[in-house]
Chain A
Amino acid sequence: MGETFYIFKDGELRRKDNNIIIESLEGEKKNLKAEVAEEIYLFGEISMNTKLLNYLSQLKIILHVFNYYGFYSGSFYPRESNVSGYLLVNQVRKYDNSEERLRIAKEILKAASYNIYRNLRYYNGRGTDLANPMREIQSLTNRLDLCTSISELMGTEGNIRKTYYSSWNLIFKEELFDKRVKRPPDNMVNSLLSFTNSLIYTTVLSEIYKTQLNPTISFLHQPGAKRFSLCLDIAEIFKPLIGERMIFSLINKNQITEDDFDRDSNCLYLKDSAKRTILMEYDKRLKRTILHRDLGREVSYKYLIRLECYKLIKDIIGEKEYSGFKIWW
């Protein structure tokens, strides 16, 4: 698997011979090992030129850009090189068939809510009483099966998330989280959620890029809703495992506290040092491996995302019905 580089420094990113180097304002140079690089995340203020972009495109390296506040701005997504007209036509057909679309969307949410349930079960086994939200989420999950439209599914999902979020203060053992607020987030937990969700989104995008799936055609979310909506679909499944578990651990271990935010910004602005802590932890989690039951191989959490893409491909070509990833260990 290729490497991911996270760049916080301000400076210049450029092609130097057959390499990519970052030169900071102080003149410090670092080689990004172009041969093995797969993704580059930019958090600092970086200047670059088309020569670099052309080179990135040639090597199929994705560049994700975050703004000053740590919000995701966008990606430089090199020319699609894995294209299959055959798959695209069938992906669109799947989407266009309301029964099929509903089946896949349901499967995505069932997996996502199961993973949410597992997070609660984990903390429930560690001395926090979460029996009530667990029960509630279970019954809401069962209700997913009865939904007959995407909007109904979305409504039920909203309720699952609401129940889930309402139990977070029990996990933190502190009143940190009231309710999910976006655009802009209004407290520490909301800011963390926004930040990690955008990281997961970019990771999913990078994995979809390596397959022939088209990232704009989604099943649960409305396609092309100003974003690569298939990323949102797949991210739904992995947010509990990769993002939310990380948030619980970061807060409970005091790795991130309110001091890591700029208070005057109403906890909107995450300090650089905190972003670094989160990214190190995030990267570590993506690299974490488990023995995959069906494959009989060690796979990383990040690779689980790619496998999800493969399962969707197999459903789209009519080979095997998609079943969403559920935490099994």
Chain B
Amino acid sequence: MKKITGMMIYYYFVCHRKLWFFNNDLTMEHNSELVSIGKLIDETSYSREKKNILIEENINIDFIKDWKVIHEVKKSRKIEKASEWQLKYYLFLLKEKGIEIEKGILDYPLLRKREEVFLSDEDINKLKEVIKSIEEILGEKRPPQMTKKQICNKCAYYELCHI
């Protein structure tokens, strides 16, 4: 079993199908303009920080301040819940390694906004459940059924799902 990445947690909260496709390397992001914009934002913002800290191959933190606060950079707040859980997962993994992080911050450089994220005991339990659920989804032979959502319209997988 592959290690659970931050991306997987994020996709779990966005769409189970996307998670399944992504895990089988059926990626579509390279066709998406929105994804290219996101990448550009990541590359061009916070250039003074030490960026993209890779921890054990499975999590890639956008940047860390003094090992106290971790940051995740996003383009918009449309899927904020998923972003929050992605960050909580980072906090959780670091905590397991004995690194106590104060909080996480979601940065929206285009919106000039930020959001603080904390990890509660309740969150830890929920994350453990989520991890189990992700493993189940990834073990499936077929992608999970589609459920039409508002966000489908802007998804890089829209055509693959709807054709």
Contact = CB atoms under 8 A, between A and B. Distances in A.
Contact of B163 (A83, A87, A310): A310
Contacts of A306: 159
B142 A294 contact: no
B26 A313 contact: yes
Interface string B17-30: 00000001111001
A237 to B, nearest CB: 14
A231 to B, nearest CB: 19
Interface stretch (A6-14, A131-139, A314-322): A314-322
B163 A295 contact: yes
B30 A210 contact: yes
Interface in B102-147: 141-143
Interface string B140-163: 011100000000000000111011
Contacts of B31: 210
Nearest to B27: A82
B159 A87 contact: no
Interface string A303-327: 0001100110110011100000000
A303 to B, nearest CB: 8
Given A210-B30, A319-B142, A314 B25 contact: no
B162 A294 contact: yes
Nearest to B24: A86
A128 interface: no
A318 B141 contact: yes
B130 to A, nearest CB: 23
Interface residues of A, number: 21
Contacts of B163: 294-295, 307, 310-311, 314
A295 B158 CA distance: 8
Interface string A42-85: 00000000000000000010000000000000000000011111
Contacts of A295: 158-159, 162-163
Contact of A212 (B25, B142, B162): B25
Interface in A162-203: none
B67 to A, nearest CB: 35
Given A210-B30, A310-B160, A310-B163, A84 B24 contact: yes
Nearest to A86: B24
Nearest to A90: B24
A238 to B, nearest CB: 16
A290 to B, nearest CB: 14
B138 to A, nearest CB: 11
Interface in B78-120: none
Interface of A: 60, 81-87, 210, 212, 294-295, 306-307, 310-311, 313-314, 317-319
Given A84-B25, A85-B25, A210-B31, 11 more contacts: A83-B25, A87-B24, A212-B26, A294-B162, A295-B158, A295-B159, A295-B163, A307-B159, A314-B160, A317-B143, A319-B142
26 contacts: A82-B25, A82-B27, A82-B30, A84-B24, A86-B25, A87-B25, A210-B30, A212-B25, A212-B26, A294-B162, A295-B158, A295-B159, A295-B162, A295-B163, A307-B163, A310-B159, A310-B160, A310-B163, A313-B160, A314-B160, A314-B163, A317-B26, A317-B143, A318-B141, A319-B142, A319-B143
**Which 8 A-B pairs rank lowest in CB-CB distance, beginning with the nearest?**
A84-B25, A86-B24, A310-B160, A310-B163, A307-B163, A295-B162, A84-B26, A311-B163
Interface of B: 24-27, 30-31, 141-143, 158-160, 162-163
